[in-house]
Amino acid sequence: MTKKLLYMLIIAAVMMPSCLEDIEEVPLVIEDEDLQAPSGIRTVTGDGQIALSWTSVEEAVAYRLYRSATLGEVWVRITETVDTFHVDEAVSNGIQYLYSASSIGSSGVESARSEPVPAVPSVYSLLINGGLEYTGTRIVELALTAPASTAVMRISDIPDFGSAVWEGFSTSRGWVLPEGDGVKMVYASFQDQTGALSPAVSASIELDTYAGIEDLTITPEPHIYSPGSNVHLAIMVEGEETGGSASVDIEGLSAGPIDLFDDGRGGDPIAGDGSYETDYTFPSLFRGTDLIVAGGFIDRVGNEAVPLELTDRISFTDPPDAVRLIGSIDSTTSMITIRWEESAEENFAAYRIYRDTQTGVTDDPALFVQGLDFRSQTIYPDSDLDQGVTYYYRIYVVNDLGEASGSNETAASTYDALPIPVTLSDPSAVGSDRLTLEWTINPDSDFSEYRIYRATSPGVTESSQFVTNITDREITWFDDIGLDTGANIYYYRVLVYDLGGQYSRSNEVTTATP
């Protein structure tokens, strides 16, 4: 920031012995680039006076008002005040004056001056709604000033008065502005008792009956943030209206609506452009998913816009820390007991256990085994499993927002016991070239198949002649054909195989007569 020191240059126009005459102060303004000049200077002219008002500046402790009667060639400081208004009575009717204002900061440094505003005092004047710049309704109140000799007046919204009729003079009158938002002009002329006609006077006011929001944005995108994130909020209003108030409401944010600015503060890059903006840091404890965001706007005359919701929702995610899955601490033929470290997640909601028969376990619902709601439960017996099978596990920690983090993956296998052997009955329906075998059913969960072996001497093994295999557990009989029972004695066994390839032998039977 650059600053210049403030000096007052005193010019002696005429130097006379023992006296100093016609001394004029011309301030050399030092500009504070961070301090704004007053804006929205309004003038209300009257008989030998000009009333001025302006918008306050947040960091200003006082204001200086300057006047020029020479079209800006020479400026005179007429007051320094803490107020935002001043009535200048040191003026003459019919002369145009220029006014400019500056702000004074707490350090005494003066801002740059505002743009000059013209005003001409007159014995005749017209004021709309007390000199307000805006109105939200077409019905307004006119205040009129004229000499005591004035008899009649006429009012119109066009400068040539058109079909306006003369009416008795009154210092106040109701008036209806033309339809449609925008700057509206009202004209008045007066006539005294002798028939002398005054010059026309006029006043303007901006009719503003509608407020609307054009766009609402939050950056950065996508709208998935961590708690305590910093974002930039912006609302662009229709018509680029300035002087209003804008805010953003976020579902669940206890701090309430977030105020946005159009005056260069709080992250607003350009003052007075109709884009209300701010930088905002969310509380570190604020969390939520799929939250609704809505923007609101009330314009300078009180028109309230229909709230505009952000097209998508925002989330403040805080995924829990994953736990370490220690692995299997016990295993049987149908059950695996797994164990993991206890979660330290502050917002713990549940453990969810997932299992698959191949590596790469995910939280696919098809792989879900069990949910556990107690943080301290870190052991789970997974039952009704097939024996001799390797299973893969992953534990997910879930928080109160439904967010989940998966543990490491670990593998464990059920114990692969030998199949329960079946009992083979003596051959039945023995004929010259055939016989029938029957046996008990195998109940194992990891059953694979029955295999039948045959020999012509005692001691049937898996090395003996293979007859057939049966993969349907429920089929417990077999007709063996193509035999020669008259010339041979046959011996049989049924072997039961499980999914792991292990097997058990049945008892041996024979066609030999006891």
pLDDT-above-70 percentage for the chain: 94
Q: Which of 314, 261, 328 has its CA nearest to residue 286?
A: 314
Question: What is the reported pLDDT for 33?
Answer: 64
pLDDT per residue as tens digits for the range 246-264 = 999 999 999 889 999 999 9
On whether the CB atoms of residues 399 and 319 are closer than 8 A, the answer is: yes
SS (H, E, C) 182-228: EEEEEEEEEEECCCCECCCEEEEEEECCCCCEEEEEEECCCCEECCC
| pTM of the predicted model over 0.85 | no
pLDDT-derived band at 27 (thresholds 50, 70, 90) equals very low
Residue 504: what are its φ and ψ, rounded to 5°?
-135, 145
**DSSP secondary structure letters along 320-371:** PPPPPEEEEEEE-SS-EEEEEPPP--TTEEEEEEEEESSS-----GGGEEEE
Q: State which CATH number among 3.40.50.1370, 2.60.40.10, 2.160.10.10, 1.10.10.10 fits the domain covering 325-413.
A: 2.60.40.10
CATH number of 125-207: 2.60.40.10
CATH number of 213-316: 2.60.40.10
Q: Which of 473, 471, 472, 462 has its CA nearest to residue 508?
A: 462
On whether the CB atoms of residues 345 and 320 are closer than 8 A, the answer is: yes
Cβ neighbours of residue 294 under 8 Å, at least 6 residues apart?
216, 248, 249, 307, 308, 309, 310
Three-state SS at 441: coil
Q: Please give the mean pLDDT across all residues of the chain.
A: 90
Q: Phi/psi class of residue 126: alpha, beta or left (left: φ > 0; alpha: ψ in -120 to 50)?
A: beta
Cβ neighbours of residue 346 under 8 Å, at least 6 residues apart?
none
| CATH fourth-level superfamily of 7-119 | Immunoglobulins (2.60.40.10)
What CATH architecture is 434-510? Sandwich (2.60)
User: The tokens of 101 are what?
Assistant: 């204002």
Query: Which residue ranges make up each domain of the chain?
Result: 7-119, 125-207, 213-316, 325-413, 434-510
pLDDT per residue as tens digits for the range 344-385 = 999 999 999 999 999 999 999 999 999 999 999 999 999 999
In this chain, the answer to whether the domains covering 125-207 and 434-510 adopt an identical fold is yes
Radius of gyration of the chain (CA): 48
pLDDT-derived band at 47 (thresholds 50, 70, 90) equals confident
